[in-house]
Structure 1
């Protein structure tokens, strides 16, 4: 629903609210040999190198209506990459038309959005278990805006930019701004759950849990992929090459890894 000029709250000066979206994703696979594990790391570093990550963050900037001021990027040795993009005010070329249960924040009447003191970052962390054959790729993306537009507008794009088995998503509105009478505003849009900004076809793929602290404008949603096809989790291997016992054991290890990440705790480990 659009907001008419009569419905908009008149602020005293700049909107000082800081809106932070932290998107944490995991890709999990089984790598049978040490050579496979090293090849997986090499594959991830190639797929998600600093140049590709930079393009993803620039697209995020376009989606939220920001202007890129500066880009710092780095591929690391032995593995991983980081990109930081500083953004400022910029024109909104097109407002996304996806239907959500809640608005991702008030939209401006003019084509210029104040997004000073804002940034978008990504860091990647490929790694593997020392002896069980489990390899994981983690990416942490933070979108922080100061002004009217919420980074939640970019959430759908981010989900579709990564091959994601587990997601942990945090959204928080910090600080306050004032209306023309000096009254403090600690949030400038309605929100009850991050899930309301995720399209239904995506939500159907995941089991989801919310942990929200409404009085502090803190929202958390974690997601685990529902369907499990072993072939989707094997690197340089397919299940037709495995015995029934091997398939059962690898499946157990993969599911335990996913559960441990989803619930953020170690499960029982065989001695």
Structure 2
């Protein structure tokens, strides 16, 4: 049984459904030499340092209306960073009824939502191919909440906070809460697709595939950037520095890397 703004149900005690959003983004780059690879990793470490990631997560906490209790941030050697944030609930009394609708969430300058207690984490994984051609940066972000409003409301801001070529997004509602008669509620809002929480202007940039298990309240969306401009994947130079054969080879390798991440398997050519 679902709880929507059209069918409000009086609960027995606290709404203790757990809603978990996992957002994985991938940024891909072609690095011809060891020097280019090291320069790319240095750029990524600076662009997505522990301090920058902490700022992003604080904005997420503001969007979901949570109060930050504790933050642990760490930059790793030789590369990568992690931030973990514990937050507590905020008031829900003034939240508008449309917060149950499937729609993109606000950006930090237009906050209207409030959520219950949650935790937010981010971990980064810069890595490179053994032949020093392809370098891939991955960021994993998890937003887990207990309460009325889905952490999917933070997805809009998260996508805009990272330059991403491929995204995988998972959302799941766990546990149950009860109405005043003791009847179990395994989800408290309607949801058809994670895609409905991605603004139209962003959605148009990606090819997207859903893999949903509605009866288990599990939702999964894969996204891959549609447009391909090789200049966006070359570090420190442009395609006019490549000969025609190099241009074809590098383009094929970059597209293969994106396809393998998108489909989650190695592709034999």
TM-score (norm 2): 0.91
Which SS does the other structure have where 2:90 is aligned? strand
Report the equivalent of 1:28. Answer: 28
User: Residues 57 and 112 of structure 1: is their aligned pair in 2 closer, same or farther, counting only changes over 3 Å?
Assistant: closer
User: Could you list the runs of 4 or more consecutive aligned residues of structure 1 that deviate by over 4 angstroms after TM superposition?
Assistant: 91-96, 98-101, 111-114
| Maintained 8 Å contact 1:17/1:174 | yes
> Offset of 1:94 from its aligned partner?
9.4
Change (3 A) 1:94 1:235: farther
Q: Is the 8 A contact 1:113 1:147 kept in 2?
A: no
CA distance in 2, matches of 1:231, 1:241: 11
* In structure 2, C-alpha distance between the alignment counterparts of 1:48 and 1:206, rounded to whole Å: 23
Structure 2 CA distance for partners of 1:75 and 1:244, relative to 1, 3 Å = same
Report the counterpart of residue 108 of structure 1 in structure 2.
none
Task: Give the equivalent residue in structure 2 for 1:47.
Answer: 47
- The superposition leaves residues 1-47 of structure 1 with CA deviations (integer Å, 9 ceiling, x where unpaired) of x937xx42111111010000000000001011111001111110010
Question: Residue 71 of structure 1 corresponds to which residue in structure 2?
Answer: 71
Task: Give how far 1:176 is off.
Answer: 0.1
Task: Give the CA deviation at 1:113.
Answer: 5.0
User: Given that residues 99 and 113 in structure 2 are in contact (C-alpha distance below 8 angstroms), is that contact kept between their aligned partners in structure 1?
Assistant: no
C-alpha contact 1:91 1:112 (8 A) present in aligned 2: no
Q: How do residues 1-271 of structure 1 correspond to structure 2 at under 5 angstroms?
A: 3=5, 7-91=7-91, 102=102, 115-116=116-117, 118-268=118-268
Output the CA distance in 2 between the equivalents of 1:131 and 1:35: 13
| Structure 2 Cα separation of the partners of residues 173 and 245 of structure 1 | 49
Structure 1: gaps (5+ residues): 106-110
1:25–1:140 Cα contact (<8 Å) kept: yes
Taking the aligned partners of 1:264 and 1:160, their CA distance within structure 2 comes to 23
CA distance in 2, matches of 1:229, 1:104: 28
Shift of 1:93: 11
- 1: distance between equivalents of 2:95 and 2:25? 26
CA distance 1:186–1:75, change in 2 (3 Å): same
SS in structure 2 of the partner of residue 102 of structure 1: coil
Distance 2:201 2:99 in 1: 12
1:10 and 1:103 mapped to 2: Cα distance? Answer: 24
Q: Distance in 1 between matches of 2:146 and 2:70?
A: 17
Per-residue CA deviation, residues 208-249 of structure 1 (Å, 9 max, x unaligned), is 110000000000000000000010110012101011111000
1:241–1:99: structure 2 CA closer, same or farther, 3 Å change rule?
farther
Query: What is the total number of aligned residue pairs between the two structures?
Result: 259
CA contact (8 A) 1:113 1:149 kept: yes
Distance change (3 Å), C-alpha of 1:150 and 1:101: closer
User: Under a length normalisation based on structure 1, what TM-score does the superposition of the two structures give?
Assistant: 0.90
